[in-house]
Amino acid sequence: MSYSGITVHDKNPIKRYLQRRRLRDALSPLGALGERFAGRFLDFGAGNGELTKAIAQRFPRAKVFCYEPAPDLLEEARHNLSGLDNVVLVSSLEELKGLKFRYVFCLEVFEHLPSRETVRAIRAIKRLLAIRGIAVVGVPNELFLPALLKGLFRMKGRYGAYDARFGNVFRAAIGRPPDKRPVREIAPGLPYHFQHTGFDHRKLRLELSGTFEIVRQFGSPVGSELLSSEIYLVLKKRNKASQSAGSNPDSPSD
């Protein structure tokens, strides 16, 4: 099944609504940005490019880089984004070398990454973000009430799978999710957690706070973290005063 088939085009109307709502909420930090903005955006781990499309259509003068390392997903993005002249498809971080971005979006990525890949992604986003840039990270909420509701839904469809076992669902629902998550490859050389169960956004927030200043945190589709299916973190680079001694300053933004 295609990525869009389990997200914005899922047969379940509730899932379709939540997926489209999360994309809309992800763009809320751009509320004051006029449509004449002509800088660069980066969609980091873009999947089928649905967010890239929304940004490219909203800001026709901007250049939107759609980075997706999984070949099958990149091909979906290529098809989804055909006809948009301000989109650049990218399959490797090497293709972004030397570039800085005013806005970096990373949605539905970190919950899939094992520990080593998480560290690499954080470093890459830091390197690519301009000094006064803003990064928006979106991940699913797999704790407490949202975890219980999602778990019951999964158990109804595929009881006994890793993310549809009573024990794993219960542990996530009380805020102590299982920590041994299955890992497979989504493409050669790309290890990947396919199931969301076991992901803890609190740990990711702690990791991100070691590199970035967290400007804002909010939930989707409602603002409350406890009731939302998605969590967003708005980040910026730490100022020079808070950087560790001896670190090299980033090059100026474009």
Whether residue 219 is predicted with pLDDT greater than 90 in this model: the reply is yes
Q: C-alpha dihedral over 206, 189, 43, 212, to 10 degrees?
A: 20
Whether residue 201 is predicted with pLDDT greater than 50 in this model: the reply is yes
pLDDT tens, residue by residue, 167-196 = 999 999 999 999 999 999 999 999 999 999
DSSP, collapsed to helix, strand or coil, labels residue 123 as helix
The pLDDT of residue 5 is 52
The pLDDT of residue 243 is 54
211, 129 Cβ separation under 8 angstroms: no
For the chain, the domains span: 4-141+200-239, 143-198
Whether residue 213 is predicted with pLDDT greater than 70 in this model: the reply is yes
Residue of 146, 142, 134, 150 whose CA lies nearest to 233: 134
106, 137 Cβ separation under 8 angstroms: yes
The pLDDT of residue 7 is 66
The pLDDT of residue 249 is 36
Mean pLDDT of 78-87: 97
Mean pLDDT of 58-67: 98
Q: Which spans in the chain are helix H? A: 13-26, 50-58, 71-80, 115-128, 144-158, 166-173, 201-209
The pLDDT of residue 86 is 98
pLDDT tens, residue by residue, 111-146 = 999 999 999 999 999 999 999 999 999 999 999 999
Rounded distance, CA 214 to CA 140, Å? 18
Whether residue 207 is predicted with pLDDT greater than 90 in this model: the reply is yes
Report the percentage of the chain scoring pLDDT > 90: 84
Mean pLDDT of 105-112: 98
Q: For residues 4 and 107, which has the higher predicted lDDT (pLDDT)?
A: 107
The pLDDT of residue 251 is 39
Mean pLDDT of 86-111: 98
**What is the domain class of 4-141+200-239 according to CATH?**
alpha beta
Question: Mean pLDDT in the chain?
Answer: 91
